[in-house]
Chain A
C-alpha cells in the first residue's frame, strides 16, 4: 500500500474505533438511523469517495474505497451499509451520467451530507431483474412511473434515487433493451415512502418499500437513453461488489478479533480455551478465511482500477466474503459459548449482521451463476 493508502486506512480505523464501535450496539437495539456518525464520516471525507473530482469528490479508486469500507465495517456493518448505499446509488450516475446530471446529482452530495439510494428490487423481483414490473411510460417530455420497489437501503433518507423501470411493455423485448435508468428526486409528487422495515441485522440501516404513483420524471433525468438501463444497473455492480466484499471482510475480522480476545481470557479444564486445540484450530480456520476474503476484494478492486473488466473477480470476492462472514461470525459465537448467544457480548450482533451479505448485492446463488458463466467463457477462449 502507498503511504497515502495507509493514512486513509488509519483514519477510517480510528474513526471506527472511536466513533462507531462505542455506539453500534445502541443503534442496533433502537434501529435508529445513525445520523451523527454519518454526518461526521461525511465531514471527514470517508463517504462519497468515488465521486469524480470535477463534481467536488475525491475521485478515489475502488481499492482505496474498499480500504476505508473494510475499516468502517469492522465498527458496524449497519452504519457502513448506510454509507455504502450512497456509493451504490451514485455509481450508475458516475458511470453513465452526462456532465449536467453528474454536476447536479453528484455535486450536491459533496456540498451537504445527503443520502441517495439504488432503487431496483421489487416485492416480486430481486434476483430476476428482468422480471421488474415498475413501468415508465413516455408522456410528452416526461416519463410517468408506476410501480413498487422493496428493500431499498436508505429508502427513507434518500434525497434522490437511481430508479430502474421498464420502458418497453412488450414481454418479448429482451432485458438488455426493455429497461431505462432514471434519476428521481425523492420529493417528486407520487413517491410514497413505506415504513422502516425491522430486519434481522444491520438494523440501524434504513430499508423500506417505495411506491411510485404517477411519478413524473423529466427526460433530462434519463441515464444515457431509453433501453440502456439494464446494462447500467448491472455495470454498477462491478464497482460496488468489491466494497461489499470488503464490508463482509471487516465484519469477519471483527468476529475473529473478538473471539481471539475471549479465547485468551476464558479458562476451562484448567487452561485458557485458546490452548485447547479445538478452539485454536477453529480460530486458525477463521483467520484463513478472513485473509483470503481480503485478498479476494483486493484482487477484484485492483482489476477494475487497472481498467479491466472485473466481473469474474468481483463475483468471487463478494460470494466468498459473504459466505465466510457468516461462517466466521457463527464460529465466533461458538468460541464465546453461552456468552456468545447473549446480547451483552458483541458477537451475536455480528452473526445477525452477517446474513444479509449472502443476499443483497446479488445473492450467493446469483454470484455462482455469474462465476460459472464467466468461468466457462474464459475456459473456452
Chain B
C-alpha cells in the first residue's frame, strides 16, 4: 500500500493555436509552447492528495519522451511528487509513440516499482486517444476505474465514481488498480515557489524502453494530417416556415 505511479505527458499547451505542418505529416511543434496535459495535472493532484492523507508513502511521476519531458516531470515534482522517472524516447520513435507502447512501459514500471495504484489522465489533449489507462490495466491484468470524478481508498480497495454518458457510476475495485482522471476529479494546485525550489533536489531517474524490456515499434502509420474543413457560413431565415422549406430543399428532411 505504499506507492502511486502517475503518468504525465508533455503536450502542446491548450491555449496555443495548433498548425498543421506544410507536408501534412503532423502538427508544428518546434518553438511551440508545451505544458503538462491538463488531465495529467489532475492525476498528479489526486496522487499528491492521497499521499497527504497518508494513504500512500510515495508518488512517482513518469514521463516518456525526449529530454524536454523532464520539464514536465519537474512540474509534477513541484506539485508534490517525490521522485521522477524519465523514459527516454526520441526522434522518429517519439513521433510514432502511442498508447500501446506507453502502456507497455507503464505496465513494466508498475511491476518494477511495485505500485499499488497507477493514476493517469483520461486522455491527452493532443491525440485524444483515451486508451493508455485501459491498455495499461489490461496488460497488468489489473482492475480499472476510468473517467474518475471521485476516488476513495477503502482498505485495500478503491471506490471510484465514474462519469459516464448516463450519469455517474460508482464501482469498487481491488488494488493494485489503474485509475484515469476526469475533469471534475479535483482542481490542480499551483506549484508554490518554495516547492519549485525543493523540486530541484528531487531525483529524476533516466532510462530507455529497452531497459524495461519493452519494444516500442509502432504498428500504426500516420498517412496524413489535415486541418478540419473551414466552417461554411450559415444562412439566416426569417420564419420557422422558411426554415422547414430550406431544410426540405437541401434534402435534410
Contacts and interface: CB of A to CB of B under 8 A. Distances in A.
Interface stretch (B55-63, B187-195, B222-230): B187-195
B201 to A, nearest CB: 11
A62 to B, nearest CB: 15
A15 B74 contact: no
A45 B192 contact: yes
B190 A44 contact: yes
Interface in A200-215: none
B194 A45 contact: yes
Interface stretch (A6-14, A22-30, A112-120): A6-14
A7 B196 CA distance: 7
Contacts of B199: 7
B190 A4 contact: no
Contacts of A8: 193, 196
Interface in B198-224: 199-200
A52 B195 CA distance: 17
B77 to A, nearest CB: 10
Interface residues of B, number: 14
B71 interface: yes
B78 interface: yes
A45 B71 contact: no
A282 B199 CA distance: 43
Contact of B71 (A3, A43, A44, A68): A3
Interface secondary structure of A, over-half rule: helix
A46 interface: yes
Contacts of B74: 3, 7
Contacts of B197: 4, 58
B71 A11 contact: no
Contacts of A44: 190, 192-193
Nearest to B199: A7
A287 to B, nearest CB: 18
B78 A43 contact: no
Contacts of B200: 3-4
Nearest to B189: A44
B194 A7 contact: no
B193 A46 contact: yes
A8 B71 CA distance: 13
A267 B28 CA distance: 28
A49 interface: yes
A45 B193 CA distance: 5
Contacts of B191: 7, 11
A11 B194 contact: no
Interface in B172-197: 190-197
B20 to A, nearest CB: 20
A15 B190 contact: yes
A43 B193 contact: no
A43 B196 contact: no
B192 A58 contact: no
Nearest to A18: B190
A3 B196 CA distance: 10
A161 to B, nearest CB: 26
A58 B194 CA distance: 7
Interface string B64-89: 00000001001100100000000000
B54 to A, nearest CB: 22
B193 A49 contact: yes
Contacts of A45: 192-195
Interface in A59-81: 68
A8 B192 CA distance: 9
B193 A58 contact: yes
A304 B146 CA distance: 53
Nearest to A12: B193
Nearest to B195: A45
A41 to B, nearest CB: 10
B81 to A, nearest CB: 14
B78 A14 contact: no
Contacts of A49: 193
Contacts of A68: 193
B57 to A, nearest CB: 26
Interface string B150-192: 0000000000000000000000000000000000000000111
20 contacts: A3-B200, A4-B196, A4-B197, A4-B200, A7-B74, A7-B75, A7-B191, A7-B199, A8-B193, A11-B192, A11-B193, A43-B192, A44-B190, A45-B193, A45-B194, A45-B195, A46-B193, A49-B193, A58-B197, A68-B193
In the A-B complex, the 8 residue pairs with the smallest Cβ-Cβ separation, listed nearest first, are A45-B193, A7-B196, A44-B192, A45-B192, A45-B194, A44-B190, A4-B200, A11-B191
Interface of B: 71, 74-75, 78, 190-197, 199-200
Given A4-B197, A14-B190, A43-B192, 5 more contacts: A3-B74, A3-B200, A4-B200, A44-B190, A46-B193
Interface of A: 3-4, 7-8, 11, 14-15, 43-46, 49, 58, 68
